[in-house]
Amino acid sequence: MPVTPADYPKYMRIAHEQALKSLSEGGIPIGGCIVHAPTGDVLSKGHNKRVQENSNIKHGETDALENLGRVREGLLRECIMFTTLSPCIMCSGTCVLYKFPTVVLAENDNFVGGEDFLRSQGVEVVNLKDAEITKMMADWIASDAGKKIWNEDIGEVSAE
């Protein structure tokens, strides 16, 4: 069944489950999933593993792509990237590289990434403004663990 905007919250729940998985592993609570828009099939999901795998690039979106593996040419042009947080410029660039036509994010209150870049490249950006996910991320950023690694994750320098 083709994905419609009314279906977006259902798929965002999958990305949220991935964010919670990362949180339970002591990682950064950001999750993603890749959905084939014409069929509604969830092709892959992933979560931020920077802490767990000592990685600089395992964000929720890049982990979902890694977990998908190699695919036929053009497949990702038929897919939607769902992510629990506004994608950073690295993840936004990856979505542009693979020509995702749509990126759906849960929120951008806690961080605004490459949304303008995505739009400038013709990518539709949809913000669900999900209150539960926004609170989860804000609570984590304010936590002791979040204070230690949040700026590192987004490439910022801590004020401390």
The rounded distance, in Å, linking the Cα atoms of 84 and 127 is 10
The rounded distance, in Å, linking the Cα atoms of 86 and 92 is 9
With 0-12 CB in 10 A as exposed, 13-18 as middle and 19+ as buried, what is 157? exposed
- Half-sphere exposure in the Cβ direction for 3 (13 Å, CA): 25
- Please tell me which residue in 17, 25, 61, 124 is annotated as part of the active site: 61
The rounded distance, in Å, linking the Cα atoms of 125 and 105 is 8
Whether the CB-CB separation of 29 and 51 falls below 8 Å is answered with: no
73 is catalytic: no
Largest interatomic CA distance in the chain: 50
Residues recognised as catalytic: 61
